[in-house]
Amino acid sequence: MQRALTGIKPTGDVHLGNYLGMIRPALALQEKYEAYYFIADYHALTSVFDREKLRAHTLETAATWMALGLDPERTILFRQSSIPEVCELAWILTCQVSMGQLERMGAYKQARDRGGDINAGIFNYPSLMAADILLYDSHVVPVGADQKQHVELCRDMAIKVNHRFGEGTLVVPEVSIQPDVATIVGLDGQKMSKSYNNVIPLWLPPKKLRKLVMKIVTDSKGVDEVKDPDTCNVYSLYKLFATPEQTAALRERYLVPGMGYGHAKEELFQVVNATLEEPRERYHEWMAHPERLEEVLAEGARRARSAADVVLERVRDRVGLI
């Protein structure tokens, strides 16, 4: 069976962009692939400098996966740091990538342009991300559009390793990005991201969720004006939660006078809330039982390790470390 792998950093509240762009598509792959989904706690160390926060976000992220339907019988859920050998592979890969390639990464350039202190972890993180993927012989990597460049660099590293040390040393993975959810917009119409402070967290109580939905930015057209659904942030989210019939009905309302944006936002709140209601209950149940989450993570780590051992032994042998 081919393998799917993805990771998410435990750096803050999981939000609708994470859910629509990555988690939902990744969960859909569970049946066709042997899936390895992990909580990227080593990656979080580049920006989280508080042990309680890191621990809390790690458990919240695990509970999120479980609440949204990860099947632990089938899918391997684990903490990245349970398999510290990933750092060994990251080092080997760091020696196969040029400074210039790392300097061209958008995420690094953005950090540089924001100014201030940039730790070397931020600069080197594509090597660790490549190690995450390659350590498990992953075939497909479901992510949002912002991660495309990193998966492409990972492919380049794998190809280089195979060229230098022999074909078959590493599996060259494919990126998987769903075009309709590649970049989910946030409250302000930019990409929804923890770093832009424009997110709608997944697990808000309904009242707060409604309040945030009401804050989504629209143009200033009044009730009596015809509106363009295709450029509207509210409609773009609505169609990702609603049925095709609901979507067609709301579209009609945009195209004739008489609907205010408040109405569209109320409709959006209703469909988002309906989708998240049951998972929200499951989320809180998991959060009330961290020991159960730890059990799932421990079993995941055990299975991840047996896959990682095979690959690392092969790589060590090929590069001359044994």
Residues near ligand TRP (CB under 6 A) are: 5-9, 40, 43, 129, 132-133, 141, 143, 147, 150
Paired sense of beta strands 34-39 and 174-176, if any: unpaired
Is 130 one of the binding residues for ligand ADP (CB under 6 A)? no
DSSP character for 83?
Answer: -
Task: Name the segment binding ligand ADP (CB under 6 A); options: 13-21, 113-121, 218-226, 262-270.
Answer: 13-21
Residue 176: strand pairing partners: 142
* Among 128, 140, 184, 268, interactor with ligand ADP by CB under 6 A: 184
Phi, psi dihedrals of residue 295, rounded to the nearest 5° = -65, -45
Residue 275 CB, nearest approach to ligand TRP (Å): 22
Distance, CA of 7 to CA of 9 (rounded, Å): 7
Q: Could you give the 3-state DSSP secondary structure of residue 4?
A: strand
Per CB under 6 A, the segment of 88-96, 140-148, 260-268, 305-313 that binds ligand ADP is 140-148
Q: At its nearest, how many Å lie between ligand TRP and the CB of residue 128?
A: 7
Nearest approach in angstroms of CB 322 to ligand ADP is: 35
Q: Which is nearer to ligand TRP, 110 or 231 (CB)?
A: 110
Interface stretch with ligand ADP, choices 121-129, 162-170, 186-194, 312-320 (CB under 6 A)? 186-194
Using DSSP's 3-state secondary structure scheme, residue 123 falls into: helix
Report what 141 binds from ligand ADP, ligand TRP, none; CB cut-off 5-8 Å by kind.
ligand TRP
Give how many residues touch ligand ADP by CB under 6 A.
19
Q: Whose Cβ is closer to ligand ADP: residue 75's or residue 193's?
A: 193
Which candidate, 209, 212, 208, 183, places its Cα nearest to that of 197? 212
Amino acid residing at 130: A
Query: How far from 207 is each of 127, 210, 262, 270, 274, CA to CA, in Å?
Result: 42, 5, 15, 11, 13
Q: How far is CA 24 from CA 64, 122, 196, 276, in A?
A: 11, 27, 22, 12
22 binds ligand ADP (CB under 6 A): yes
Among candidate residues 118, 38, 105, the one with its CA nearest the CA of residue 70: 38
| Cα three-residue angle 43-290-59, rounded to 5 degrees | 20
In the bound state with ligand ADP, the residue whose beta carbon lies nearer, of 150 and 280, is 150
Q: Does position 8 bind ligand ADP by CB under 6 A?
A: yes
Looking at this protein, which amino acid is placed at residue 76?
I
With CB cut-offs between 5 and 8 Å by kind, which of ligand TRP, ligand ADP, none does residue 133 bind? ligand TRP
**Piece in contact with ligand ADP (CB under 6 A), picked from 94-102, 185-193, 249-257, 311-319:** 185-193
**φ/ψ of residue 124, rounded to 5:** -90, -5
Name which of 43 and 155 has its Cβ closer to ligand TRP. Answer: 43
Q: Of the two residues 58 and 147, which places its CB atom closer to ligand TRP in the complex?
A: 147
In terms of CB distance, is 11 or 169 closer to ligand ADP?
11
Contact 202, 276 (CB under 8 A): yes
Q: Which listed residue (75, 80, 193, 198) binds ligand ADP by CB under 6 A?
A: 193
Q: Which residues pair with 77 in a beta bridge?
A: 37
> Which residue among 75, 80, 147, 169 contacts ligand ADP (CB under 6 A)?
147
Smallest gap from residue 168 Cβ to ligand ADP (A): 28
The residue with tokens 């792959």 is: 29
Cα–Cα distance for residue pair 272/274, rounded to 1 Å: 5
With contact defined as beta carbons under 8 Å apart, do 43 and 9 qualify? yes
Q: Which residues bind ligand ADP (CB under 6 A)?
A: 8-9, 11, 17-18, 21-22, 143-144, 146-147, 181, 183-184, 191-195
